[in-house]
Amino acid sequence: MYALIALGYTLVYGVLQLINFAHSEVFMLGGFAGLFAVRAVTSPGENIGGTKSVMLVVFGVLVGAAVGGVSAIVVERVAYRPLRRRGAPRLAFLISAIGMSLLLVNLAGKEFGRLPIPVPELFTDGTVFTVFGADVRTGQLIVFGSAIAMLIFLDRFVNGTKIGMGIRSVAQDAETASLMGVDINRIITMTFLVGGLLGGAAGFLYGMTFNVQNTMGFIPGVKAFTAAVLGGIGNVRGAMIGGLILGVAENLGVACVSSSWRDVIAFGILVLVLVLRPTGILGERLGRSA
Amino acid sequence: MTAVSDPRPTLLDRVRGNADARRLARYLLIAVVAGLIVGKDGTGDEPFSGIKGSFQDSTMLYLVIAAVVASVLARLYDAQRDTVAQLRGRASGAREQLIGGSRQKYANIAFLVLALVFALLLPLGLSGFWQRVLVERIGIFVLLALGLNVVVGLAGLLDLGYIAFYAIGAYVTAYFTGQLPAEPPFTLNPFLIIPISVLAAMIAGVLLGAPTLRLRGDYLAIVTLGFGEIVRITAVNSDKLTNGPRGAIGIPHFSAFGYQWKLDSKPYYYLLLAMMVIVVIAFRRLENSRVGRAWAAIREDEVAAAACGVPTVKFKLLAFGIGASTAGLAGNFYASKVGFISPDNFLLITSFLVLVYVVFGGMGSLPGAILGAAVLTWLPEVLRDKVPAQDRYIYFGVLLIIMMIFRPQGLIPSKRRAREFAMHEGGDALGSAEGSGTTAGAIA
């Protein structure tokens, strides 16, 4: 889960060398979109099961991803491109992203209410099997499966396609890339699009397990950013590994200590890793070499 | 935008190719968003009722009309500007070179005196509520922004967990006044604790800094962010030490030299003002000293600075320590003035906000940090009466975006930065005149 959001950060970071604080809001909007889409095609109290529930998840994920992608592009157009054209310093981007984030959170709160909304129960929750005494539910399996699918897709996309090559080239050296005929603006838009697609999809998946709320993006956003850094920011595979490690470590830590220390564990690990390995676990392969 | 190569351009392509149509679309979009912002509230049950309501409202119609009118005006303005701009451009550059020098210095001093007099008289004309806002929100955050300005603006270290030091200052105050569950060895009045708070925050700053300052820019940002959260969550979870989420209540007011501060905000205000003046003078002198130059060198290029013999770690630690101690002072002050602290005072978002104040005002500039913090803390309080309380931060966000688009250097940029911007703008104009994009340079 963290890995999915982390990818959005890491992609944008790799290309622009900046932290996209509005990404958590892309995530939130994707969650809302998926929720409304699913709610529009189901009637309340309806008993859903079998293939239909799987179809619904796919539908929700797709809608979430679409809205996430579009909103990510809008964010880029509004909060980044004008600044880039003026050659603003890096911190200005950070601030406009924070502004965008505040705007979107509160606007969504205004339009959709500020209370958490549950996604309709899509599975007549059966425990499929147990691992180490923990129940694994169908819903969790679906989330896990789609996350893996998207990770593989992204990996192929960045490493195997022409646009992926463009993204990597801009990440390495934007100026040279533009000299080689890469349309930087287009690549940046594509990057935001892909990051937004994943973020929006993650938003819906997250909303299925937890709830959808206008402030839902913040904490996962911070965590995902942590995961991205943990794996080596700007490094796609690093983000995946970082997300995985963070998720596992947190839950193990919760099992060992107590749930209220969850975030301390996460950040503690981060600090430790960074002190020992200042550029994250895998280093920065996508970005410029450290 | 790229030229349309399709032999039969679609409507979308035609819109894209036409600057006027693009502008109209942009303005319409802005109008619709504005309409949504001031429009009706929706609820979770009927998600689109708010949007629908906003569109049915007449305000939306006016805004859309305004957008159309504005785009026509902008077109006329553009046509005019193109002819005038070239003539005007060179003249103004030359003029700016001539003004300045010694007259500037006297003007600055006069301005400073005026500002100080204004600050001294300010609370007398305000109601009790605004006096409280002035001290508890504006004053405290101006102090925080000043401290963070040293770390971010001068030394160029991005610190996203700055609020942790503020928290430490506040909790130390609560501890030594005996308002925490943990028994202190002795209790003191908050006024006498000021040095202890400052020292504690400084030590925390150096402790955090020592292992992490090896990290480059964004890694440092995330580690400090993590540190800020660790401090807050520890405060939430340590019931025995910090009284957990309930926080500390009943921290006494200052008292010193036989004078007892009470609920009235004015004495606090003047004390805070005095501290600020001291801090500003100290920072001003630091900035222009050897230390300040070392910071500037580190900010511009750390590797080059180290190569030139600047002990980077030492100076970075110094910046961290100074920034942290300022936050500690603010924390002590807040704890004593309000008398109540809880972990909710030290949320992550507050760290971001302080950073926003600094950049909004103009990084590395003392008056900028003061003005930025003052304006942006004042704004939500003003909006409190004007718009629904929960919508305040929408306006705040919009303001930030607009500001960064049109004046990314901040309200009052420091001289050095202003120069950098001027240089860049010059290069930019040159680039666009040649008809090539400027993206590459801007990204790097």
For chain A, say whether B199 makes contact (Cβ under 8 Å): no
Whether residues B36 and A107 touch (CB distance < 8 A) is answered with yes
Q: Residue B3's pLDDT band (boundaries 50, 70, 90)?
A: very low
Q: Suggest the residue from B163, B219, B404 to mutate for an interface test with chain A (most A CBs closer than 10 A).
A: B404
**In-domain check, residue B109:** no
Report strand pairing: B340-341 vs B248-249. antiparallel
Task: Provide the H-helix boundaries in B162-260.
Answer: 163-176, 190-212, 217-237, 239-242
**In-domain check, residue B119:** no
Chain B residues in contact with A222 by the CB 8 A cut-off are 225, 229, 348
What pLDDT does residue A201 have?
Answer: 80
What pLDDT does residue B43 have?
Answer: 54
What pLDDT does residue A206 have?
Answer: 76
Task: Name the domain boundary from B32, B52, B76.
Answer: B76
The whole-angstrom separation of Cα B198 and Cα A94 is: 29
For chain A, say whether B5 makes contact (Cβ under 8 Å): no
The whole-angstrom separation of Cα B9 and Cα B15 is: 10
- Clarify whether residues B45 and B177 are in a common domain: no
Rounded to 10 degrees, the C-alpha dihedral A85/A87/A91/A97 comes to 0
What pLDDT does residue B141 have?
Answer: 85
For chain A, say whether B43 makes contact (Cβ under 8 Å): yes
A259 min Cα distance to partner chain B (Å): 10
- Clarify whether residues B206 and B331 are in a common domain: yes
DSSP letter for each residue of chain A: -HHHHHHHHHHHHHHHSS--TTHHHHHHHHHHHHHHHHHHHS-TT----HHHHHHHHHHHHHHHHHHHHHHHHHHIIIIIHHHHHHT--HHHHHHHHHHHHHHHHHHHHHHH-SS-BPPPP-S---EEEEETTEEEEHHHHHHHHHHHHHHHHHHHHHHHSHHHHHHHHHHH-HHHHHHTT--HHHHHHHHHHHHHHHHHHHHHHHHHHS-B-TTTTHHHHHHHHHHHHHH-TT-HHHHHHHHHHHHHHHHHHHHHS-GGGHHHHHHHHHHHHHHHSTT-SS--SSS---
**In-domain check, residue B216:** yes
For chain A, say whether B17 makes contact (Cβ under 8 Å): no
Which CATH number goes with the domain that contains B324? 1.10.3470
Q: What is the ipTM of this complex?
A: 0.73
What pLDDT does residue B394 have?
Answer: 76
The whole-angstrom separation of Cα B118 and Cα A229 is: 46
For chain A, say whether B36 makes contact (Cβ under 8 Å): yes
A112 min Cα distance to partner chain B (Å): 5
End-to-end Cα separation, chain A, in angstroms: 27
In the predicted model, is pLDDT for residue B414 greater than 50? Answer: yes
Chain B residues in contact with A274 by the CB 8 A cut-off are 212, 215, 219, 222-223
In the predicted model, is pLDDT for residue B103 greater than 70? Answer: no
Picking from B393, B427, B438, the nearest residue to A102 by CB comes out as: B393
- Which long-range contacts (C-beta less than 8 Å, at least 24 apart) are formed by B175-183? B177/B251, B177/B252, B179/B248, B179/B249, B179/B250, B179/B251, B180/B241, B180/B242, B180/B243, B180/B248, B181/B239, B181/B240, B181/B241, B181/B242, B181/B243, B182/B240, B182/B241, B182/B242
3-state SS of A209-274 is HCCECCCCCHHHHHHHHHHHHHHCCCCHHHHHHHHHHHHHHHHHHHHHCCHHHHHHHHHHHHHHHH
Residue in chain B closest to A266 (alpha carbons) equals B226
The whole-angstrom separation of Cα A120 and Cα A63 is: 16
Neighbours of B251 (CB within 10 A): 26
In the predicted model, is pLDDT for residue B199 greater than 80? Answer: yes
- Clarify whether residues B29 and B140 are in a common domain: no
**In-domain check, residue B102:** no
Whether residues B36 and A111 touch (CB distance < 8 A) is answered with yes
Q: Residue B443's pLDDT band (boundaries 50, 70, 90)?
A: very low
Least confident stretch, A235-244, B226-235, B271-280: A235-244
For chain B, say whether A182 makes contact (Cβ under 8 Å): no
Neighbours of A257 (CB within 10 A): 13
DSSP run (H or E) holding B340? strand B340-341
| DSSP category for residue B159 | -
In the predicted model, what is the mean pLDDT of residues A118-147? 61
- Clarify whether residues B373 and B280 are in a common domain: yes
Q: How many CA atoms lie within 13 A of A226 on its CB side?
A: 32
The whole-angstrom separation of Cα A62 and Cα B413 is: 45
- Clarify whether residues B41 and B164 are in a common domain: no
Whether residues A85 and B229 touch (CB distance < 8 A) is answered with no
In the predicted model, is pLDDT for residue A79 greater than 60? Answer: yes
Chain B residues in contact with A272 by the CB 8 A cut-off are none
In the predicted model, what is the mean pLDDT of residues B294-301? 82
Quick one: CA dihedral A69, B34, A214, B229, positive or negative?
A: positive
What pLDDT does residue A22 have?
Answer: 74
Residue in chain A closest to B212 (alpha carbons) equals A275
- The pair of structure tokens assigned to A17 is 């060398």
- Residue whose entry in the numeric block shows the structure tokens 């890096």: A90
- The pair of structure tokens assigned to B134 is 């002035």
Put simply, the chain A residues between 42 and 101 with a CB less than 8 A from any chain B CB are: 78-79, 82-89, 91-96, 98-101
A128 min Cα distance to partner chain B (Å): 32
**In-domain check, residue B112:** no
- The pair of structure tokens assigned to A73 is 């592009």
The whole-angstrom separation of Cα A192 and Cα A204 is: 18
Residue in chain B closest to A179 (alpha carbons) equals B440
Residue in chain B closest to A271 (alpha carbons) equals B223
Q: Suggest the residue from B16, B218, B348 to mutate for an interface test with chain A (most A CBs closer than 10 A).
A: B218
Using DSSP's 3-state secondary structure scheme, residue B248 falls into strand
Nearest Cα residue to A221 out of A23, A68, A82: A23
- Clarify whether residues B186 and B266 are in a common domain: yes
Nearest Cα residue to B153 out of B299, B2, B302: B299
Task: Name the domain boundary from B35, B58, B76.
Answer: B76
Residue range of the domain that includes B152:
131-426
Nearest Cα residue to B166 out of B319, B275, B324, B317: B324
What pLDDT does residue A113 have?
Answer: 64
**In-domain check, residue B174:** yes
Task: Name the domain boundary from B61, B76, B91.
Answer: B76
**In-domain check, residue B337:** yes
Quick one: CA dihedral B236, B242, B243, B248, positive or negative?
A: negative
- The pair of structure tokens assigned to B52 is 């629908």
Are B365 and B417 in contact, with CB atoms under 8 Å apart?
yes
What pLDDT does residue B431 have?
Answer: 35
Give residue-wise pLDDT tens across range B21-43: 666 676 677 766 766 666 555 55
- The pair of structure tokens assigned to B302 is 């750390």
- Clarify whether residues B164 and B35 are in a common domain: no
**Of residues B149 and A209, more confidently modeled:** B149
Give residue-wise pLDDT tens across range A149-160: 777 777 787 777
Chain B residues in contact with A117 by the CB 8 A cut-off are 44
Chain B residues in contact with A109 by the CB 8 A cut-off are 390
Chain B residues in contact with A113 by the CB 8 A cut-off are 41-45, 47
- Clarify whether residues B250 and B338 are in a common domain: yes
What pLDDT does residue B184 have?
Answer: 67
The whole-angstrom separation of Cα B156 and Cα B296 is: 8
For chain B, say whether A161 makes contact (Cβ under 8 Å): no
A103 min Cα distance to partner chain B (Å): 4
The whole-angstrom separation of Cα A105 and Cα A99 is: 10
Least confident stretch, A47-56, B119-128, B130-139, B219-228: A47-56
Put simply, the chain B residues between 339 and 378 with a CB less than 8 A from any chain A CB are: 348-349, 352, 355-356, 359-360, 363
**Of residues A185 and B92, more confidently modeled:** A185
Picking from A91, A179, A233, the nearest residue to B363 by CB comes out as: A91
Are A168 and A10 in contact, with CB atoms under 8 Å apart?
no
**In-domain check, residue B204:** yes
Least confident stretch, A39-48, A114-123, A227-236, B435-444: B435-444
- The pair of structure tokens assigned to B13 is 């392509």
| DSSP category for residue B153 | I
Give whole-number Cα distances, B300 to B80, B146, B368, B443, in Å.
Answer: 40, 20, 20, 16
Nearest Cα residue to B349 out of B396, B404, B401, B406: B396
R_g of chain B computed on alpha carbons: 26
Give residue-wise pLDDT tens across range A99-112: 888 888 777 777 66
Chain A residues in contact with B214 by the CB 8 A cut-off are 278
Q: How many CA atoms lie within 13 A of A4 on its CB side?
A: 30
Are A203 and A68 in contact, with CB atoms under 8 Å apart?
yes
Task: Name the percent of chain B lying above pLDDT 90.
Answer: 0
Whether residues B230 and A110 touch (CB distance < 8 A) is answered with no
In the predicted model, is pLDDT for residue A284 greater than 50? Answer: yes
B27 min Cα distance to partner chain A (Å): 12
- Clarify whether residues B299 and B364 are in a common domain: yes
Based on the structure, what is the number of domains in chain B? 2
A129 min Cα distance to partner chain B (Å): 35
Whether residues B408 and A85 touch (CB distance < 8 A) is answered with no
